[in-house]
Structure 1
Amino acid sequence: MNPQWRTAVSATLHCLTGCAIGEVLGMVIGTAAGWSALPTVLLSIALAFLFGYSLTMRPVLRAGVAFKTAVGVALAADTLSITVMEIADNAFIVAIPGAMDAGLTSLLFWASLIASLAIAFVITVPVNRWTISRGRGHAVVHKYH
């Protein structure tokens, strides 16, 4: 595999981790609270960005970078990736009839959520490959490792 593709897959897995934590947490909270799809999706998106940026900032902060700079690095590294991932996975799960109303004990809920994250990963890898090839996106984090 080409090194830029390998880096893009690694960056997307990193992004997927933060997005999945936020997405699953948001969906579980919204579903358990009986919220409609819109507030549940909005919470999931907010938490996906929060956890995605936090996971990027952690090693940057450990490298001794100031908090404000680390925030800037996380925004530059992950905003496009998280945005694409969130659009893809939320569009998918909302499009599955009954998935948002299925409940936490439903196979439909969990299968739709897992499938949405897998699809978002596949869609986001080429986006990360494109940004990395231009020295942007996740490539900006590597100078702090």
Structure 2
Amino acid sequence: MAAKATLHCLTGCAIGEILGMVIGTALAWGNGRTMAAAIVLAFVFGYSFTLFAVRRAGLDFAAALKVALAADTVSIAVMELVDNGIIALVPGAMDAHLSEGLFWSSLLGGFVVAFLITAPVNKWMIGRGKGHAVVHAYH
């Protein structure tokens, strides 16, 4: 269950993260602005996947938003901290262009490491009835 929850979270985060990095790089934004855009979009897409799923289950928007925030905040935060930390630590990754392998390999490598670190966090939270455990009542 934790691996599935982490993969669900990673999917939303990856879409937002890649979109933010691509936008920031294509528009030649600075590193801070690019990373901020990527993080904001990762949270938006990460929350939206859960939000739409629980809305389909019949919850009104306010209740669905509370479930999404409870289910995903820690998972997305850990994932973003690890993922962006790796990108920031890889020499030249933040300055790489979209056409360079370093851009894509550091981004994708960060996702792999983020998954490996976030999965045990999600397992721990689910075991305590928190995180994605709150979503399973609506599936």
**Which TM class, normalised by the smaller chain length?**
over 0.9
What residue identity is the alignment partner of 1:119? V
| Residue matched to 2:74 | 80
Partner of 2:48 in structure 1? Answer: 54
- The equivalences for 1:103-122 within 5 A come to 103-122=97-116
Once the two structures are superposed, residues 35-65 of structure 1 have per-residue CA deviations (whole angstroms, 9 ceiling, x without a partner) of: 1111111100000000000000111000110
User: 1:92-114, CA deviations, whole angstroms, 9 ceiling, x for partnerless residues?
Assistant: 00111111111000000000000
Aligned sequence identity (%): 61
In the alignment, the residues of structure 2 paired with residue 37 and residue 94 of structure 1 have an alpha-carbon distance, to the nearest angstrom, of: 9
CA–CA separation in structure 2 for the residues paired with 1:119 and 1:46: 20
The DSSP-based 3-state class of the residue aligned with 1:64 is coil
Tell me how far apart the structure 2 counterparts of residues 45 and 102 of structure 1 sit (CA, whole Å).
18
Aligned to 2:95: 101
Question: Could you tell me how far apart the structure 2 residues matched to 1:55 and 1:87 are?
Answer: 20
Aligned to 2:37: 43
Unmatched tracts of structure 2, length 5 or more:
none
Give yes or no for the alignment of 1:125 onto 2:129. Answer: no
User: How far did residue 11 of structure 1 move?
Assistant: 0.2
Alpha-carbon shift at residue 143 of structure 1 (Å) = 0.4
Give the TM-score normalised by structure 2.
0.99
Find the aligned partners of 1:27 and 1:123 in 2 and give their Cα distance.
Answer: 22
- Runs of 4+ with >6 A deviation: none
Unaligned residue ranges in structure 1 (runs of 5+): 1-6
